[in-house]
Structure 1
């Protein structure tokens, strides 16, 4: 696996993955403060102060080298507007595995932007990075994320019942994954 890997923009047909920038604050705050967006996320709607902290942290995450290193690039449409973010965390160097996730502005859902952005990262994972397995851990009630996993060819591997205490109640966790030889290049 060719590590370390330093982030560089990734171009798709309709989206571009780039590092987050300070000027993304308003769009990022609109997404991360929306109660409906946060419904299935591990956090409650974020305050402006918390979004500033997250933006600073995530824009500085530019290198994959060790387990738990992550990048959280902006998903930009053809005009350069921030429409969401991706999450890609190196889970294990020895096992060549990573975790993937996504967050999309609701105004842009249902148009294939998240699928294209995720496919760009899967191409990177199974191509340049030489990973063996990429997985998504999600709330199985999140039908949009489940459907995206399935459209990407990810297999439903696990369903953990009442796996975590989540926003005042027990919640299940779903695991979807894809292997390098399953990803169509």
Structure 2
């Protein structure tokens, strides 16, 4: 089943499609964007096409939304990966020339709301590199709490890396939304 279309004031989040590869190649081939990703920058459009095809496929145990600003051009994505019952992992990537404009925060917040409000999740977590200050700041702004550090967790294109785990509970999200 495809990811449902989600909207915000500025964005349309829709199912990632195979034909988004050309728009996402500048994201996935950007060394600065990809430094904290589990794989290195893509060297060719063909590599991006294969990668996007895998993430766009349905029935893989996750939903992946293309982030668009209403023109249907993918600027990045947000993914919600199946975990335990009522628990999912969130991940995201955004084209560098859109950093700092609140787009990632808006898109991730909308997917979090969908997870808690529509899917009935009790917990959403994220896994990020300890040196990824932008992602850590985004998670903290959204109310995530640092839960732990996994030492030597990932073997990546920049070596073996630790991982910080951040978690957000449904009740915490509801309090954040209502301002209590």
> Could you state the TM-score of these two structures normalised by the residue count of structure 1?
0.87
Find out whether 1:14 has 2:10 as its counterpart.
yes
Find out whether 1:157 has 2:157 as its counterpart.
no
More moved, 166-175 vs 42-51: 166-175
Question: SS at 2:78's partner residue?
Answer: strand
Match of 1:24 in 2: 20
Find out whether 1:77 has 2:69 as its counterpart.
yes
Please report how far the alpha carbon of residue 37 of structure 1 lies from its aligned counterpart in structure 2 after TM superposition: 1.1
Q: 1:91 to 1:77 in 2, by over 3 A?
A: same
Question: Which of 119, 123, 126 is residue 116 of structure 2 equivalent to?
Answer: 126
> Could you state the TM-score of these two structures normalised by the residue count of structure 2?
0.89
Question: Which of 136, 161, 169 is residue 159 of structure 2 equivalent to?
Answer: 169
- CA–CA separation in structure 1 for the residues paired with 2:159 and 2:5: 39
* Unaligned residue ranges in structure 2 (runs of 5+): none
Please report how far the alpha carbon of residue 55 of structure 1 lies from its aligned counterpart in structure 2 after TM superposition: 2.1
Please report how far the alpha carbon of residue 72 of structure 1 lies from its aligned counterpart in structure 2 after TM superposition: 1.4
1:116-155 C-alpha deviation (Å, 9 max, x unpaired): 1111111111111101100000111111100000011000
Question: Which of 42, 45, 48 is residue 45 of structure 2 equivalent to?
Answer: 48
More moved, 157-166 vs 36-45: 157-166
Q: 1:79 to 1:164 in 2, by over 3 A?
A: closer
Matched length:
174
Please report how far the alpha carbon of residue 178 of structure 1 lies from its aligned counterpart in structure 2 after TM superposition: 0.3
1:39-67 C-alpha deviation (Å, 9 max, x unpaired): 00001112322211122222222x5xxxx
Question: How big is the alpha-carbon RMSD for the aligned residues of Structure 1 and Structure 2?
Answer: 1.7
| Deviation beyond 3 Å, 4+ runs, structure 1 | none
Match of 1:60 in 2: 57
Structure with the bigger percentage of helix: 2
Question: SS at 2:75's partner residue?
Answer: strand
